[in-house]
Amino acid sequence: MSGKENRKMRGIIARNKLADGIFAIVGLLSMLVGLVVLLALLVQLGIDGLQRLSWEFFFSFPSRKPAEAGILSAWVGTALVMLVTALAAIPLGVASGVYLEEYARKNWIADLIEVNVTNLAGVPSIVYGLLALGLFVYKLNLGESVLTAGLTLALLILPVVIVTTREAVRAIPSSIREAAYAVGASKWQVVWDHVLPYSTGSIITGVIIGLARAIGETAPIITIGALTFIAFLPDSPFKSEFPYISFSWLQAPFTVMPIQMFNWVSRPEPAFQLNAAAAGIVLTVMTLAMNGIAIYLRYRFRRGIKW
């Protein structure tokens, strides 16, 4: 190779290496953009909202005076709606996941359900709100209630629960199932006594991520007509006399955290926007904590299991 070609070659290599180095920096920076924005968002919320966070803020009803307003009815509403969502989505989602993974034969019905679950995950959340408005509120006459909201959000997070259940169940080696069959267990006994207990950890992770999403969902709940100003609590689910449990809270009108925050954000007075920031802190801490727990659990289960 002549000296000239040699130099040309070196030039090309140097240029490629430079491009490589530049991209490494660009990549690092663009990754940082997301993280910096997350940080800016948290700092902005903190600066605006921390001054309003106090014991009274948690235990006051919303009010026309910004300094006296609180989120009592909002977080109680969120808790009740999440209870309904979890009770509906977990059994339904886990059962579907188990069916698709353990029972379904490879036929067009299984394919249809599978394609359908993938597509449902991409449907905009507001469309679930329209479904709930048309179906739950008016066709089934459930009204604008805790029950309607809980069921709506359950449908919304169903794909998440189904997909994580399937992944969890698929990760269990078939030797476990074969061992159970070998001692005479029926299919359901295999699923109930072995497959489900071993995959519980991963399923819980998925459920937490789903519920974290449901807590922050605003649009579908607004669509079904949740009220933004509620200065009373639904009936307590517990009673002092027999049968100790009451279900009248299911039909109660309600508000939830994100709606309360939206209501405050859309008011022109700056004082209300401080309230919105404070509600935002509570909401963000709740969802980030749930996501954090889920990520931690996923990490731990991935490490802990050695088949």
By CB under 8 A, what part of segment 3-42 binds other proteins?
13, 16-17, 19-20, 23-24, 26-28, 30-31, 33-35, 37-38, 40-41
User: 257 with 74: CB under 8 angstroms?
Assistant: yes
- From the list 57-65, 66-74, 173-181, 270-278, the region that binds other proteins by CB under 8 A is 270-278
What's the DSSP call for residue 235? Answer: P
> Is 92 one of the binding residues for other proteins (CB under 8 A)?
yes
DSSP string, 78-130: HHHHHHHHHHHHHHHHHHHHHIIIII--SSHHHHHHHHHHHHHHTS-HHHHHH
3-class state of residue 19 by DSSP: helix
User: What's the residue count for the chain?
Assistant: 307
- From the list 70-78, 79-87, 180-188, 235-243, the region that binds other proteins by CB under 8 A is 180-188
Size of the site for other proteins (CB under 8 A): 89
Interface pick for other proteins out of 67, 127, 231, 271 (rule CB under 8 A): 127
Closest CB to other proteins among 64 and 303?
303
176 phi-psi bin (left φ>0, alpha ψ -120 to 50, beta other): alpha
Q: How far is CA 278 from the centre of its chain?
A: 21
User: 157 with 266: CB under 8 angstroms?
Assistant: no
Binding pattern to other proteins, positions 99-118, x when CB under 8 A?
xx--xx-------xx--xx-
Measured CA to CA in angstroms, residue 123 lies from 28, 131, 156 at distances of 32, 12, 9
Rounded CA separation 159/163 (Å): 6
> Is 265 one of the binding residues for other proteins (CB under 8 A)?
yes
> Is 87 one of the binding residues for other proteins (CB under 8 A)?
no
In DSSP terms, which residues pair with 245 in a beta bridge?
238
Closest CB to other proteins among 216 and 237?
216
Closest CB to other proteins among 144 and 250?
144
| Euclidean distance between the first and the last CA atom of the chain, given in angstroms as a whole number | 57
> Is 216 one of the binding residues for other proteins (CB under 8 A)?
yes
94 HSE (CA, 13 A, CB side) = 19
Binding pattern to other proteins, positions 144-173, x when CB under 8 A?
-----------x--xx--x-----------
> Is 143 one of the binding residues for other proteins (CB under 8 A)?
no
Binding pattern to other proteins, positions 39-58, x when CB under 8 A?
-xx--xx--x----------
Closest CB to other proteins among 100 and 207?
100
User: 254 with 146: CB under 8 angstroms?
Assistant: yes
Amino acid at site 298: R
What count of other Cβ atoms lies within 10 Å of the Cβ of residue 273? Answer: 18
Binding pattern to other proteins, positions 217-246, x when CB under 8 A?
xxx--xxxx--x------------------
Q: Which tokens in the block code for residue 52?
A: 């309003």
Binding pattern to other proteins, positions 185-214, x when CB under 8 A?
-xxx--------------------x--xx-
Interface pick for other proteins out of 124, 246, 267, 271 (rule CB under 8 A): 124
